Chain A
């Protein structure tokens, strides 16, 4: 079966712009989580969506937002980009919120210049 698909794979944006990243979960998975990975901070939790509702949020500013559609696909948006937002953004899906099995996509590499 297809894995978790993230698009685009690479993105270059200018400081102050906004960006939208997309994640298609494994078929049947209803929970989608987003993580930011940087060399300095490692892997940090952004938020999780289940049944189109945000159920948990990490410690990130309000410039980071997300949403989930009825087909479980998710998008995350970062507004007013800063240089420090340059990172690998990873999406992970799982069947539901009572299950442990997270599967990760390959990520979107965002570079802010």
Chain B
């Protein structure tokens, strides 16, 4: 992922609206991507993943889109709720001939949901 600066990008949305969080990843050889949610005082929590041979994957209220041409990942959250307020990270994993490498995290985005 990109190097992280001192300030997280922030996204503020109204409760009930849809949220879109974007991420640029670094390695075109990465074959697996994950979105994590991190709440204050907790470790990152898995939200949804996608393999490099897919363009889109849907979960419950969440959708991940992968654009390998421009090395871009996005997370869409439908009907955003106050409980969705957190920092969101994308992460990529390289495949080393059958074994999976470590997580490489992108810069986080702080999502704030206004009631």
Residue B41 at the A interface, CB < 8 A? yes
Asked whether B43 lies within 8 Å of A56 as measured between CB atoms, the reply is no
Asked whether B102 lies within 8 Å of A58 as measured between CB atoms, the reply is yes
Asked whether A56 lies within 8 Å of B102 as measured between CB atoms, the reply is yes
Interface residues on A, range: 20 to 34
Asked whether B32 lies within 8 Å of A100 as measured between CB atoms, the reply is yes
With both chains docked as a complex, state the minimum distance between the C-beta of A105 and any C-beta of chain B, in angstroms. Answer: 5
- Residues on B with C-beta less than 8 A from A92 are 43, 103
Map CB proximity to A onto B1-38 as digits: 1 under 8 Å, 0 otherwise: 10111100000000000000000000000001010100
Residue A84 at the B interface, CB < 8 A? no
- Residues on B with C-beta less than 8 A from A60 are none
Asked if A42 meets B49 with Cβ closer than 8 Å, knowing A90-B44, A98-B98, A100-B32, the reply is no
- Residues on B with C-beta less than 8 A from A105 are 43
Interface residues on B, range: 20 to 34
With both chains docked as a complex, state the minimum distance between the C-beta of B27 and any C-beta of chain A, in angstroms. Answer: 13
Asked whether B102 lies within 8 Å of A45 as measured between CB atoms, the reply is yes
Please provide the chain B residues from 30 to 57 with a CB less than 8 Å away from any CB of chain A in the complex.
32, 34, 36, 41-46, 49
Q: Which residue of B lies closest to A57 (CB)?
A: B102
Residue B99 at the A interface, CB < 8 A? yes
Asked whether A90 lies within 8 Å of B4 as measured between CB atoms, the reply is no
Please provide the chain A residues from 9 to 63 with a CB less than 8 Å away from any CB of chain B in the complex.
33, 35, 39-45, 48, 56, 58
Which residues of B are interface residues toward A (Cβ below 8 A)?
1, 3-6, 32, 34, 36, 41-46, 49, 89, 91, 93, 98-108
In the complex, besides A90-B43, A106-B41, A107-B43, 4 extra interface pairs with C-beta distance below 8 angstroms are: A42-B107, A48-B102, A92-B103, A104-B45
The 10 closest A-B pairs by CB, nearest first: A42-B4, A104-B43, A43-B105, A97-B99, A45-B102, A104-B44, A106-B43, A90-B43, A105-B43, A107-B43
